[in-house]
């Protein structure tokens, strides 16, 4: 039997995107509160982390800024007991198992960032061409047209990089370095696109009636989930021996 006490977790809550009704959750944990954190968390922590399945009985749906179609719950473990038979794989190798899928998860975030950026640009181009002010389409104002060209260029360059990443991944090449670059840059790029696309919509961009309003909210966590921008830069700095 493994006992989990809330005090083991230095800063609850743990946020998870999952349907509220789903009761099966896979977590990583250190079995002992006395276990010391690793100084180099990217190296597997032998005998410190187990991968277990735990049944969560009660989840509370959180109110989020965006992504409302996706439930997010706060998981709190208090004096929780997990049968040893629920241990997945070999004890002590949980972090290694996690790392095996982490690059693919980051690639998925890269794909999401490019796709949402493309969608935001599409709806903005359509809006800018049709909206008239001072007797002309607002897309014809030099600032707006230059801005739209800049956004289109960034997205195009982003997609080219993304596609080379996908190809490398399919070929089984190690994408750790490049996917870390893509994860932070594409997520930040998509957020820049969101800012400028909403600005071009003017006041209507702030209204739920216009899709850009929802996309602006939904794109925000791309720089946080799956490893934040700062964590990606830490990984890359370490790889560059900085
Ligand atoms: C909508 C949503 C869905 C999520 N879904 C999932 C999920 O399905 N599965 C899952 O496992 N997690 C999920 N998460 C959690 C998400 O992965 C974490 O929020 C993310 O890893 C950041 O961790 P944190 O929130 O604890 O921030 P913190 O670690 O508290 O970081 C706060 C700030 O400090 C910065 N920071 C932290 N450490 C360092 C450092 N060493 N150097 C420099 N800067 C640093 C961060 O970049 C960030 O800007 C989800 C989060 C959200 C918002």
pLDDT over 80 at 125, yes or no: yes
Question: Probe ligand 1: pick from 14, 98, 183, 228, max atoms within 8 Å of CB?
Answer: 228
Tell me whether strands 132-133 and 136-137 are parallel, antiparallel or unpaired.
antiparallel
Residues 88, 106, single domain; the answer is no
Active site residue 105: yes
C-beta of residue 33 within 8 angstroms of C-beta of residue 8: yes
Taking CA atoms only, the protein residue closest to ligand 1 atom 43 is 230
Residues 235, 126, single domain; the answer is yes
Residues 182, 136, single domain; the answer is yes
Residues 134, 60, single domain; the answer is no
Report whether residue 217 contacts ligand 1, using a CB cutoff of 6 Å.
no
Domain count, the chain: 2
Instruction: Read off the CATH number of the domain in which 142 is found.
Output: 1.20.140.10
Residues 139, 87, single domain; the answer is no
| Dihedral class, residue 233 (left if φ above 0, else alpha if ψ from -120 to 50, else beta) | alpha
Instruction: Please give the average per-residue pLDDT across 152-175, as a whole number.
Output: 97
Query: Residue 227 C-alpha to ligand 1 middle, in angstroms?
Result: 6
**84-112 residue pLDDT tens:** 777 777 777 777 877 878 899 999 999 99
Identify the residue with better confidence: 229 or 58: 229
Domain ends where: 67, 92, 117? 92
Structure tokens at 186: 């594409």
Extended strands (E) in the chain: 2-4, 14-17, 24-29, 50-55, 60-61, 72-75, 80-82, 132-133, 136-137
Q: Residue 85: what pLDDT?
A: 72
Residues 171, 65, single domain; the answer is no
CA distance 109 to 104: 9
Taking CA atoms only, the protein residue closest to ligand 1 atom 17 is 225
Report whether residue 74 contacts ligand 1, using a CB cutoff of 6 Å.
no
Residues 85, 31, single domain; the answer is yes
Q: Which of 154, 139, 164, 242 is nearest to 193 (CA)?
A: 154
Residues 76, 108, single domain; the answer is no
Nearest atom within ligand 1 for CA of residue 227:
21
Structure tokens at 7: 């005090």
Report whether residue 72 contacts ligand 1, using a CB cutoff of 6 Å.
yes
Query: Residue 118 C-alpha to ligand 1 middle, in angstroms?
Result: 25
**80-91 residue pLDDT tens:** 666 677 777 777
Residues 75, 110, single domain; the answer is no
Residues 64, 113, single domain; the answer is no
Q: Which of 149, 175, 177, 153 is nearest to 163 (CA)?
A: 175
Domain ends where: 53, 74, 92? 92
Q: Residue 4: what pLDDT?
A: 45
Summary mean pLDDT of the chain: 82
Residues 114, 23, single domain; the answer is no
Q: Residue 58: what pLDDT?
A: 55
Domain span at residue 30 reads: 2-92
Report whether residue 225 contacts ligand 1, using a CB cutoff of 6 Å.
yes
Q: Residue 12: what pLDDT?
A: 44
pLDDT over 60 at 3, yes or no: no
Q: Which of 158, 208, 134 is nearest to 150 (CA)?
A: 158
Catalytic residue among 105, 154, 167, 208: 105
Nearest atom within ligand 1 for CA of residue 226:
17
Give the DSSP letter string of 51-120. EEEEE----EEPP-SS-TTS-EEEE--SSEEE-GGGB-SSTT-HHHHHHHHHHHHHHHHHHHHHHHHHHH
- pLDDT band of 240, cuts 50, 70, 90: very high
Identify the residue with better confidence: 52 or 215: 215
C-beta of residue 13 within 8 angstroms of C-beta of residue 74: yes
Domain ends where: 69, 92, 115? 92
- pLDDT band of 43, cuts 50, 70, 90: very low
Taking CA atoms only, the protein residue closest to ligand 1 atom 9 is 16
Residues 111, 220, single domain; the answer is yes
pLDDT over 60 at 10, yes or no: no
Instruction: Read off the CATH number of the domain in which 79 is found.
Output: 2.40.110
**211-230 residue pLDDT tens:** 999 999 999 999 999 999 99
Query: Residue 65 C-alpha to ligand 1 middle, in angstroms?
Result: 15
CA distance 134 to 132: 7
């Amino acid at each position: 039997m493994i006992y989990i006490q809330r005090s083991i977790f230095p800063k609850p809550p743990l946020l998870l995107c999952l349907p509220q009704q789903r009761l099966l959750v896979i977590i990583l944990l250190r079995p002992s509160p006395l276990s010391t954190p690793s100084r180099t968390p990217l190296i597997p922590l032998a005998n410190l982390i187990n991968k277990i399945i735990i049944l969560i009985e009660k989840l509370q749906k959180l109110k989020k800024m965006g992504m409302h179609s996706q439930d997010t719950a706060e998981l709190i473990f208090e004096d929780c007991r997990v049968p040893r038979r629920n241990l997945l794989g070999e004890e002590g190798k949980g972090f290694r198992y996690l790392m095996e899928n982490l690059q693919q998860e980051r690639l998925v975030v890269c794909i999401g960032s490019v796709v949402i950026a493309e969608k935001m640009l599409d709806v903005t181009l359509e809006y800018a061409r049709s909206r008239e002010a001072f007797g002309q389409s607002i897309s014809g104002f030099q600032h707006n047209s230059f801005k739209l060209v800049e956004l289109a260029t960034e997205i195009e360059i982003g997609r080219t990089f993304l596609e080379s990443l996908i190809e490398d991944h399919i070929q089984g090449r190690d994408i750790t370095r490049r996917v870390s670059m893509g994860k932070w840059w594409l997520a930040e790029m998509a957020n820049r696109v969101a800012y400028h696309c909403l600005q071009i919509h003017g006041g209507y961009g702030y209204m739920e009636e216009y899709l850009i309003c929802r996309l602006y909210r939904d794109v925000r966590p791309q720089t946080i989930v799956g490893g934040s921008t700062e964590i990606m830069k830490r990984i890359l700095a370490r790889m560059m021996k900085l």
